[in-house]
Amino acid sequence: MFRSTRPTRQLIKKLNLRSMASKPVAMAADAHAEKSETSDLVTVTLPEGSFEGYHLEVPDLSFETEKESLLKIYKDMIIIRRMEMAADALYKAKKIRGFCHLSIGQEAVAVGIENAIDKKDTVITSYRCHGFAFMRGASVKAILAELMGRRSGVSFGKGGSMHMFAPGFYGGNGIVGAQVPMGAGLAFSHKYRGDKNVTFDLYGDGASNQGQVFEAFNMAKLWNLPVIFCCENNKYGMGTSAARSSAMTEYYKRGQFIPGLKINGMDVLATYQGSKFAKDWAAQGNGPLVIEYETYRYGGHSMSDPGTTYRTREEVQHMRSRNDPIAGLKAVLLEKNIATEDEIKSYDKAARKYVDEQVAAAEADAPPEAKMDILFEDVYVPGSEIPVLRGRISDDTWDFKNKAFLNKVY
């Protein structure tokens, strides 16, 4: 359990983190949450410059956390890193086709956010979504099976890289910026029901200039919605640097009438602390907030982009060697005697073994059967179908009862 040192701030609810104990890697178990009151606490002090505020007092740089929680965060990040590396290899082996956007280097954002919220909060993001799907509850096998078009995929093999969903996670959306007003709608549902939950509504720096983003800002402020608009600024929208596409690159100030917060998105602990602050802000009725997670992707925009024509290899290597989120947390674990080098190596080895097993299981799964009714099974909730779904032309008209085309001429 994380505890802020600021006395006026609420204590975070017991972390509702997915147990990995039942999996071969023996990741952090639910028992950690049960032991929270007796677990050893350590004080984390973030570097100066971890936050910048816009019409907002920034979060505390110092907070307390359980050792088990830091280990859980580390294990989450290395699983996501390994999963994305596996996807890279499967794509190059032509076992994954089409679009595939990896988040190698950006793991701290998804992991930091998920550790700061609970399962009743909602999350929506763009197409770089594999890590978020995993953190929200999808298994590595289901994610990789989806990428390979298998029936056991998280979207039954129909969505692929850009369309993944999990409980409380609304995608994985392929249309640039379109998920931002959808996230505002999710936040409206929280307010309508009167709960104290919030929506984390993520988009990239490439989507930040979309008109619908600013329309969503305006509506959220007018209605005082519990939404955190989150710009994942990884410096490049496709192959264009932020400086070449945006007249003003301080994305956390883009809300104008909405307070903003810039967070070092390469530091998972800063990402956690800032996200926890943001959740508390919105849940307490203060309305929306705009966050900029300053992060970096090591690969290209997608698997079709080598990522080397618009930036230098030296730049990428510098970020890997100086700012890697996994290496940064590893240093904290060693410094605070939470884990030894050998223990960390064992975690890395276990994560690699676990992901390899999940890859094998996903590859062994069958593709969807070549049946026409599979095309229509997700149009309605089972049992609520209309008798006939009219298609574009008469030959497309589908009879749900008989699971066949009517071939009716209108």
pLDDT tens, position by position, 264-288: 999 999 999 999 999 999 999 999 9
Question: For 15-29, what is the mean pLDDT?
Answer: 37
pLDDT score for 394: 74
Strand bridging mode 404-405 / 199-204: unpaired
**Long-range interactions of 242-246: CB distance < 8 A, separation 24+:** 242/205, 245/205, 245/206, 245/209, 246/205, 246/208, 246/209
Residue 335 has pLDDT above 60, yes or no: yes
Q: Give the helix/strand (H/E) hosting 220.
A: helix 211-223
pLDDT score for 291: 98
Name the residue type at position 289.
Answer: L
pLDDT score for 395: 79
pLDDT score for 129: 97
pLDDT tens digits along 42-64: 999 999 999 999 999 999 999 99
Q: Which residue has the higher pLDDT, 393 or 286?
A: 286
Are residues 72 and 79 in contact, defined by beta-carbon separation less than 8 angstroms? no
- pLDDT above 90 covers what percent of the chain? 82
pLDDT score for 39: 59
- pLDDT above 70 covers what percent of the chain? 90
Distance of CA 137 to the CA centre of its chain: 11
Q: Which residue has the higher pLDDT, 5 or 71?
A: 71
Residue 4 has pLDDT above 90, yes or no: no
Poorest-pLDDT segment among 30-34, 158-162, 230-234, 267-271:
30-34
Are residues 184 and 132 in contact, defined by beta-carbon separation less than 8 angstroms? no
pLDDT tens digits along 110-125: 999 999 999 999 999 9
The radius of gyration of the chain from alpha carbons, rounded to an integer in Å, stands at 22
Poorest-pLDDT segment among 101-105, 222-226, 392-396:
392-396
Residue 35 has pLDDT above 50, yes or no: no
Distance of CA 295 to the CA centre of its chain: 13
Structure tokens at 400: 């749900």
Across all residues in the chain, what is the average pLDDT?
90
Q: What is the 3-state secondary structure (H, E, C) of 9-67?
A: CCCCCCCCCCCCCCCCCCCCCCHHHHCCCCCCEEEEECCCCCEEEECCCCCCCEEEEEH
pTM for this entry: 0.88
Question: For 230-243, what is the mean pLDDT?
Answer: 95
Domain architecture of the chain: domains with CATH: 39-364 (3.40.50.970), 372-405 (no CATH)
Residue 84 has pLDDT above 50, yes or no: yes
Distances (CA, A) of 142 to 77, 127, 233, 243: 18, 17, 28, 37
Are residues 288 and 217 in contact, defined by beta-carbon separation less than 8 angstroms? yes
Nearest partner of 80 among 145, 33, 133, judged by Cα = 133
What's the CA gap between 278 and 61, in Å, rounded? 14
pLDDT score for 409: 67
pLDDT score for 410: 61
* Phi, psi (degrees; rounded to nearest 5) at 352: -60, -45
- Enter the DSSP assignment of 230: E
pLDDT score for 370: 87
The contacts of residue 99 (CB under 8 Å, 6+ apart) are: 127, 160, 161, 162, 174, 302, 303, 304
Per DSSP, the three-state class of 283 is helix
Residue 12 has pLDDT above 80, yes or no: no
What's the CA gap between 111 and 173, in Å, rounded? 19
pLDDT score for 194: 96
Residue 5 has pLDDT above 50, yes or no: no
